[in-house]
C-alpha cells in the first residue's frame, strides 16, 4: 500500500460563524493546515504514522489558539495542567500523561512514556519528574499564558463562590458558549500502520485534579491496525463513560462495521444518548479518514496522498 492519510482536529463545541471574525477564522485554518502539511511531509517521506501524529500535535500545542500546550485553559487554582496520549496501532504501544505542568509539548512527554518508561500512564509530579529526567523541554508559566483563556477562566472563577449549582450552571454555559479546544491527530502511513494522538488543557476551572478522556487510552485516544485510530474531543466525562474511541474499534472488530458506520454510531447515537457533546476523527489501515461531530462545529482538517486537502470548522 502506498497511499497515506492524516487528519487533525482542534476541538469541537458550539462554534458558530456569527461568533467568529474573518481574521480569527483564517488563523484557525492556517493553524490546522500547517499541522496537516507538516505531518503530510513526514508521511510522504516514508515516515511512520506515529511520527506524523506527533509532528502534527507539536505544531498545534505550540499554537496559542488551541487548548493544549501553550494556550491551555486555567484550572480552579489559576494554573495550567495538561493531559496527552499517543498510541501506535502497529503494536498497541501507548503512552499518556495527565495533570502535568510547564512541559512545552505534552505529546513529547507522552511519547517518551510510551518508548522509555516501561509504563503507559504517568500523572502529576511524578510525570514531571520523568520529564526532567528524560530532558523534555520545560517552559515557565508565562509561556503558557493567554489573555483569552485567562478571561474565560475569570468569568467563571468568581461565580464559584456562590454555590455548586451555580458553578455547574456557569460551567455549562461556558462550555456551551465556547468550544472545547483539545487537539488531536490520526494518521495512516505508506505501510498501512495507523496511530492516534490527543493533547489538551482539559476544561476551564477544573478542580480536584480532574482528568478528561483525552489521555485515557480507549476513551479519548485509541489505535489498532486491525480496526482504527481515533482521537476525540468534547465533554470528556461522557467520552470516558462511553469508552468512545475503543467502542468504535469494537464495533468494527466484533460487528464488522465500517469506520464511518462505527463512528456515526458512537457519536450520533451512543454519545447523544448520554448528552455527550463533541466529535472525533478516525482513520483505518486502508487510509480512509472520517471526521464526525454532534456539536455545532469542530475545527478539523484532512489531507491524503490522493489529493484530498481540506480544512473546515462548521457543519
Buried b (16+ CB within 10 A) or exposed e, 98-123: bbbbbbbbbbbbbbbbbeebeeebbb
* Pairwise CA distance, residues 38 & 55, whole Å: 7
**Binding residues for ligand ASP, how many (CB under 6 A)?**
15
Residue 233: CB minimum distance to ligand ASP, A: 4
Part of the chain binding ligand ASP (CB under 6 A), chosen from 230-238, 260-268, 288-296, 299-307: 230-238
CA angle 84, 164, 166 (to 5 degrees): 100
* Pairwise CA distance, residues 160 & 152, whole Å: 14
Question: To the nearest 10°, the Cα dihedral for 271, 178, 108, 117?
Answer: -50
Query: Which of 71, 99, 106, 181 contacts ligand ASP by CB under 6 A?
Result: 181
For 285, phi then psi, to 5°, come to: -75, 0
Give the bridge partners for 292, in sequence order.
280
182, 204, 221, 227: the catalytic one is 182
Residue with Cβ nearer ligand ASP (42 or 53):
53
Under DSSP, is residue 212 helix (H, G, I), strand (E, B) or coil?
coil
Residue with Cβ nearer ligand ASP (80 or 200):
200
Query: Which of 40, 180, 246, 299 contacts ligand ASP by CB under 6 A?
Result: 180
Residue 54: CB minimum distance to ligand ASP, A: 19
Query: Which of 233, 249, 294, 295 contacts ligand ASP by CB under 6 A?
Result: 233
Regarding 295 and contact with ligand ASP (CB under 6 A), the answer is: no
Part of the chain binding ligand ASP (CB under 6 A), chosen from 33-41, 131-139, 175-183, 303-311: 175-183
Instruction: Work out whether the CA dihedral 43, 44, 47, 51 comes out positive or negative.
Output: negative
Q: Closest Cα to residue 220, out of 278, 295, 300, 270?
A: 278
Give every strand in the sheet of 82-88, ordered side by side: 121-123, 93-100, 82-88, 194-200, 183-188, 5-13, 297-304, 309-314
Cell of 261: 458506520
Residue with Cβ nearer ligand ASP (111 or 233):
233
Residue 256: CB minimum distance to ligand ASP, A: 29
Give the bridge partners for 97, in sequence order.
84, 122
Site string for ligand ASP, 182-221 (x = CB under 6 A): x-----------------x-xx--------xxx-----x-
Part of the chain binding ligand ASP (CB under 6 A), chosen from 221-229, 231-239, 251-259, 267-275: 231-239
200 is catalytic: no
Residue 136: CB minimum distance to ligand ASP, A: 21
Cell of 163: 454555590
Residues 255-294 that bind ligand ASP (CB under 6 A): none
For 292, phi then psi, to 5°, come to: -135, 150
Residues 12-71 that bind ligand ASP (CB under 6 A): 67
Residue with Cβ nearer ligand ASP (48 or 72):
72
**Is the separation of the CB atoms in 152 and 201 below 8 Å?**
no
- Binding residues for ligand ASP, rule: CB under 6 A, are 11, 67, 180-182, 200, 202-203, 212-214, 220, 233-234, 236
Residues with catalytic function: 182
Amino acid at each position: 500500500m502506498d497511499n497515506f492519510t492524516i487528519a487533525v482536529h482542534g476541538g469541537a463545541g458550539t462554534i458558530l460563524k456569527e461568533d467568529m471574525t474573518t481574521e480569527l477564522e483564517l488563523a484557525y485554518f492556517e493553524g490546522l493546515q500547517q499541522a496537516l502539511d507538516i505531518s503530510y511531509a513526514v508521511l510522504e517521506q516514508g515516515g511512520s504514522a506515529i511520527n506524523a501524529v506527533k509532528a502534527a500535535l507539536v505544531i498545534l500545542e505550540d499554537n496559542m489558539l488551541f487548548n493544549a500546550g501553550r494556550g491551555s485553559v486555567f484550572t480552579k487554582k489559576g494554573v495550567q495542567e495538561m493531559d496527552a496520549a499517543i498510541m501506535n496501532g502497529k503494536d498497541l504501544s501507548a503512552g499518556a500523561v495527565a495533570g502535568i505542568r510547564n512541559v512545552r509539548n505534552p505529546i513529547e512527554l507522552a511519547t517518551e512514556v510510551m518508548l522509555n518508561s516501561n509504563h503507559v500512564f504517568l500523572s502529576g509530579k511524578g510525570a514531571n519528574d520523568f520529564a526532567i529526567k528524560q530532558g523534555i523541554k520545560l517552559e515557565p508559566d508565562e509561556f503558557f499564558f493567554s489573555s483569552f483563556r485567562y478571561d474565560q477562566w475569570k468569568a467563571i472563577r468568581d461565580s464559584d463562590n456562590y454555590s455548586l449549582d451555580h458553578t455547574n450552571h456557569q460551567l455549562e454555559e461556558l462550555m456551551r458558549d465556547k468550544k472545547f479546544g483539545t487537539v488531536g491527530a490520526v494518521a495512516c502511513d505508506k505501510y498501512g500502520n495507523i496511530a492516534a494522538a490527543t493533547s489538551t488543557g482539559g476544561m476551564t476551572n477544573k478542580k480536584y485534579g480532574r482528568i478528561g478522556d483525552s489521555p485515557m487510552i480507549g476513551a479519548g485516544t485509541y489505535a489498532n491496525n486491525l480496526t482504527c485510530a481515533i482521537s476525540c474531543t468534547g465533554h470528556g466525562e461522557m467520552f470516558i463513560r462511553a469508552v468512545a474511541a475503543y467502542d468504535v474499534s469494537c464495533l468494527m472488530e466484533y460487528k464488522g462495521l465500517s469506520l464511518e458506520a462505527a463512528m456515526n454510531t458512537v457519536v450520533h447515537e451512543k454519545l447523544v444518548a448520554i448528552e455527550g457533546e463533541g466529535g472525533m476523527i478516525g482513520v483505518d489501515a486502508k487510509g480512509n479518514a472520517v471526521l464526525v461531530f454532534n456539536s455545532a462545529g469542530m475545527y478539523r482538517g484532512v489531507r491524503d496522498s490522493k489529493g484530498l486537502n481540506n480544512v473546515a470548522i462548521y457543519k
